[in-house]
Structure 1
Amino acid sequence: MSKRPPPDPVAVLRGHRASVTDACFHPTKNILFTGSTDGELRIWDTVQHRTISSSWVHSAAHGIISVVAGGENRVISQGRDGTIKYWDIGEAGLSRSPLTTIKTNSYHFCKLSLLNNPHAKVEPTEVVKNHRESELAGGTMSSTELESDKKVEGSIYVAAAGEDLSVVELWDVNTAEKLIKLPNHSINSTKARGMCMAVRAFLPPESQGHANVVSGYEDGSMVWWDIRNPASPVTCVKFHSEPVLSLSFDNLCGGGVSGSADEKIVRFTLDPSTGSCLVKKEIILERPGIAGTSIRPDGKIFATAGWDHRVRIYDYRKANALAILKYHHVTCNAISFSDNSKLMASSSEDTTVALWEIYPPRN
């Protein structure tokens, strides 16, 4: 008896003129955000499969590396121009100017990680020069920008590689203020890990609301931080031989998936009570390079975006292969699931975004 062939996309979204680097679903509406290397941010209707709005939000020379839904009517864009921008979404699309602009001065490919949790605690634990005061003193922030900040409510933070690309920084998106720096010094080793290539901020249930961060580096290592103690990481592990390019965690913060420039996908477990990060299963690929990983919100499956143009689907608990999706004809850059677990989006250098219905959850 032959296996069923893998499904085709339910829709293909065309409109971008350059490589689509990232895609992210709105948490409650039938909307998808996508960003491309020419600086264009598009908002799509995922029911009618059409563009709602299009805006050039970062320079074409630098482009967008990441887009993240930042709340009910907000979206965050990260460019290779050293900025992260926080936008309001109205009936006509994006606001003309961002609510806030974070100047990270980092020019890289490491996508930011959003910590959008009203209970998150991120308090400066070392003397970090106040970003706000320096901008005011330098005259680069106007009083109108300050007024726009006051309209933004609720705590929302991002973790991103800093101006020193080996250092991870946490920023308050509402105030564009740098709060914490996580230095890159090796545990029991003098060898540098190189640049931060992937980062993920999360809230373990045991952390009393204090943010944790895992960052992946150029040498294939991963470092886990509890930001209450930025001088001393929880643990450091090395599951990969090449740069870690993507990290994803499940909603319970009990584990995750890492993708790399090597030929491995690693399904790992996290135990905050013991501070251990352990390999649960290594998946060996025929061809190396995983640019993106994503775990479906219901924790049933995860997907990877490959350099070999393929989207791979795995059972999350057992890490068994379920399907290989062949639509894109060049590198897949990113993969994303909708919050209700019904849709998946893959974005590619071929300028398209494919929408998929894969093992839809039972209602």
Structure 2
Amino acid sequence: MNIKRIGSVAAIAIAGAVVLSSCAANEDAGNGGNSSSPAASSGVDYSSLSGTLTGSGSSAQQTAEATWAAGFQGQASGVTVNYSPDGSGAGRENFISGAADFAGSDAALSEDELGGTFKGCAADSKAIDIPVYISPIAIAYKVDGVSDLTLDAKSIAGIFSGKIKKWNDSEIASLNDGVKLPDADITVVHRSDDSGTTQNFSEYLSENAGDAWGKEPSQTFPFQVGDAAAKTSGVASAMQGASNAITYIDDSGAGDLDKAKLMVGDKATEISAEGAAKVVADSDVASGREDNDLAIQIDRKDTADGAWPLVLVSYAIACQEYKDSAKADLVKAFLGYVVSADAQKAAATEAKSAALSSDLADKAAAAVKTIK
């Protein structure tokens, strides 16, 4: 990753909180094969820790959070980690209000949010964004008789804005020579909640689709079209019951849905975690934030071979300094584990995400160590 700073940037299909007890965490499968190396490398005696951590936020992170909590609790048996996949916006609100000890968010804190106060943080302390999860966003579909589909930014924008209404529309057909597209209405499924996935989806279209999208990036879906569902799990469930439908969804939640290829430059590119990771590695850290804040300015116009610019970077949001030092110790230990190589590898296996690059992981680990 390029370390220079540039301009500021503004899970599976199940519902409910991920609540993992220390006894469940001892299962080998949940531990993801992690060794004791994360604790050893961080200098933290996990066995001495006790208490409960409450996290809230990104539903895209849900599978990864379950994996991390199990692995961490396998080493810190006195700690219970509860994570509720309420959506990125709700997670940030819960963290700001002090209802959650940390947030998971597919969008970094906004300038307005950073300008406010954080109830769980010490006076005059701000929150920081620490990247923990990199994942491609899939354009997932369920169309009668179609198992091979290619779309570009403009056709995606046309579909999700409601301007393209039929699957055999000429704009889609021109990208899919030889594919028999049905003369059927398109059913659009989108997020109903304040969603970091929507933020990343709209950022990609805003930068690549021009007037075909015509909206500023937002965590709220901007058009009155199609069917709306809350959280990654809700979107996945809605798609299972729909016909001739299409959605945008974190790849971890796409299940057995078909996934469109994306025109990247002049190439029809298949979705991959490696392509998502490449785009993040080619991107820069945003400027104008706290020294240990690692919000990423994603290069949405990356056209390198294999790149997947429709990517989300999801963050753990924590206080730089907590009012409660005991809580700070738990957050610091847990997030130190989350950014470790073992934990990242385990999440990549379970959630189809991309592990942090060694460069970004080192930066994230250094940021975690500053939490107090």
Scaled by the length of structure 1, the TM-score of the pair is: 0.27
Q: Which has the higher contact order (CA 8 A, sep 6+)?
A: 2
Structure ranking higher in strand proportion: 1
